[in-house]
A and B are shown apart, each in its own frame.
Chain A
Amino acid sequence: MKRLAVLAAAAITYVLAAWTVAPGFYDGFGPTEPYRWTCPPQQAGANTKPSSGRADIPVRGGKSEAYSVYTSDGQIVIGFLPDSFDAGTKTTIAVDITPLDSCPEPKDVRFVTNVYKITADAPLKKTANLTLLYSNLEPHPDDIYRADDPGGPWAALPRSQQGQPYTIYTSTDKVGYFSAGYLATTTPRPGVVTIGGGQALPIVVAVLIVIVVLAGLPLAVMRRRRSRGGEEDEEDDS
């Protein structure tokens, strides 16, 4: 009974600890949380608007420092090496990331992420590394595309090595508009689908609880009866 109480206390501790972070215990195989869409696809369910990001990159001795700028939802990250900007006499360089309010649909490319506008108040002189998170609700993107104007033309950037699931990487020597997608003429690789219409986890947990209760109670009763009859066999009562 004492051990049961300790286990119950540990379970409560876990629930409280996991409550502070979404989704709780997580080993990193699926996306950590639903993608935040500017224009959510039909199957997205409840949607939160995507975030923007901003940073003032310090300049020391005429050279900008290494820095990463990202949106607070983590859906896009751009990383700059030391001395990436033509800083001139500036003491800081402002970099802004803003999700576009609209969703451009160029003829030759299908976008599977939001379109983000990245601006900097100094020109780049070294390539920057760009990482985009993508959703499991759309096909996997093949490339990250860049344009000077949301109306296009959009050009595919060289794709960097694949890394973590649901992320795509590239490098760019200019800021501008960015989105991940695939050519309209290609067959996209299917994305991961969600199950249960956005209510899968409560259903899974409810089913688990029902199984535990329905199967566990008879087993507990059987064990008690055996124990009373003095027939309990500790080694094999399954």
Chain B
Amino acid sequence: MEWTRILLAQNSRFTAAVLLLGGAALGLAALGQPVERLGLGTSRFALRVIGGLALGAVLLLPAAARSGWAPLLPAGLAAAAIAVSIGEELAFRGAMYAALDELGGAPLAIGGTTLLWTLAHVLSHPPEFLGAVAAAGLLLALWRWACKDLVAPIIGHVIADLAL
């Protein structure tokens, strides 16, 4: 689904709309699952939000130290960035993490989601970017494991996509 989204976005006249729909389609992976299973409970919500801001800061840190430059995305692309970020988190660190966790425990969930997340970005990223993508996936998956939380990865991912 992720590859389909990327291929359609690269070859369509309606890039933002395709990205938006692709993000929503990824989110469907989590449809019908209990929010606690996905790490989306509301307990300690303030801490989850602050954790998301901290993750956003970490994800932006290398770019901030290197260039300092940030685009202000047009509304359509900004909406697409938010939809894709949320969709990817629900699919990878939400539904896929939960399924792999039940199958083989935390190591399989963390390693499996990181590997599949990196593979999902092969089409959209040059090879030299994939190390950073994998490291970001590992960080977000470890947060999901350590805090049993998906709210913070969603917030951090949205911040990173909007700022880069």
A residues sitting closer than 8 Å to B (CB atoms) are 3-4, 6-7, 10-11, 13-31, 33-34, 45, 136, 161-165, 192-196, 198-202, 204-205, 208-209, 211-212, 215-216, 219, 234-238
- CB contacts (< 8 Å) of A10 on chain B: these are 135, 138-139, 142
Query: CB distance A198 to B69 under 8 Å?
Result: yes
Q: How far is the CB of A195 from chain B (nearest CB, A)?
A: 5
Interface check B45, CB cutoff 8 A: yes
Query: CB distance B59 to A14 under 8 Å?
Result: yes
Q: Apart from A7-B146, A161-B13, A216-B50, what are 17 other A-B pairs with CB-CB below 8 Å? A: A10-B142, A15-B62, A17-B131, A19-B62, A20-B128, A24-B63, A29-B73, A29-B78, A29-B81, A162-B13, A194-B69, A201-B69, A205-B64, A215-B50, A219-B46, A238-B42, A238-B44
Q: How far is the CB of B107 from chain A (nearest CB, A)?
A: 12
Most buried by A among B128, B132, B142, B146: B132
B18-58 vs A, Cβ < 8 Å mask (1 yes, 0 no) = 01000000000000000000000011111100100110111
Query: CB distance B136 to A201 under 8 Å?
Result: no
Assuming the A-B contacts A201-B60, A201-B64, are A27 and B160 also in contact, with contact meaning beta carbons closer than 8 angstroms in the complex?
A: yes
A205's partner among B9, B61, B124, B146 (CB-CB below 8 A) is B61
Query: CB distance B54 to A212 under 8 Å?
Result: yes
- CB contacts (< 8 Å) of B143 on chain A: these are 7
Give 19 pairs: A residue, B residue, CB < 8 Å, sorted on A.
A3-B145, A10-B138, A13-B135, A14-B58, A14-B59, A14-B135, A18-B136, A20-B131, A25-B164, A26-B164, A27-B124, A29-B162, A162-B15, A163-B12, A192-B74, A196-B70, A212-B53, A237-B44, A238-B44
Interface check B100, CB cutoff 8 A: no
- State A124–B42 Cα separation when bound (angstroms): 63
Most buried by B among A30, A162, A209: A30
- CB contacts (< 8 Å) of A161 on chain B: these are 11-13
Query: CB distance B45 to A18 under 8 Å?
Result: no
**A-B Cβ contacts below 8 A, count:** 198
Interface check B161, CB cutoff 8 A: yes
Query: CB distance B60 to A205 under 8 Å?
Result: yes
The 8 closest A-B pairs by CB, nearest first: A23-B63, A30-B71, A201-B64, A3-B146, A200-B70, A17-B135, A18-B62, A208-B57
Query: CB distance B68 to A208 under 8 Å?
Result: no
| Tally of B interface residues using CB under 8 Å | 64
Q: Is chain B's interface secondary structure helix, strand, loop, or mixed overall?
A: helix
- State A201–B61 Cα separation when bound (angstroms): 8
Query: CB distance A204 to B64 under 8 Å?
Result: yes
- CB contacts (< 8 Å) of B45 on chain A: these are 238
- CB contacts (< 8 Å) of B129 on chain A: these are 21, 26
- CB contacts (< 8 Å) of A211 on chain B: these are 50, 53
Interface check B134, CB cutoff 8 A: yes
- State A201–B159 Cα separation when bound (angstroms): 11
Assuming the A-B contacts A10-B139, A164-B15, A212-B54, are A29 and B161 also in contact, with contact meaning beta carbons closer than 8 angstroms in the complex?
A: yes
- CB contacts (< 8 Å) of A4 on chain B: these are 146
- State A219–B45 Cα separation when bound (angstroms): 11
A162's partner among B12, B53, B59, B80 (CB-CB below 8 A) is B12
Most buried by A among B15, B19, B84, B136: B136
B70-99 vs A, Cβ < 8 Å mask (1 yes, 0 no) = 111110011011001100000000000000
Query: CB distance B59 to A25 under 8 Å?
Result: yes
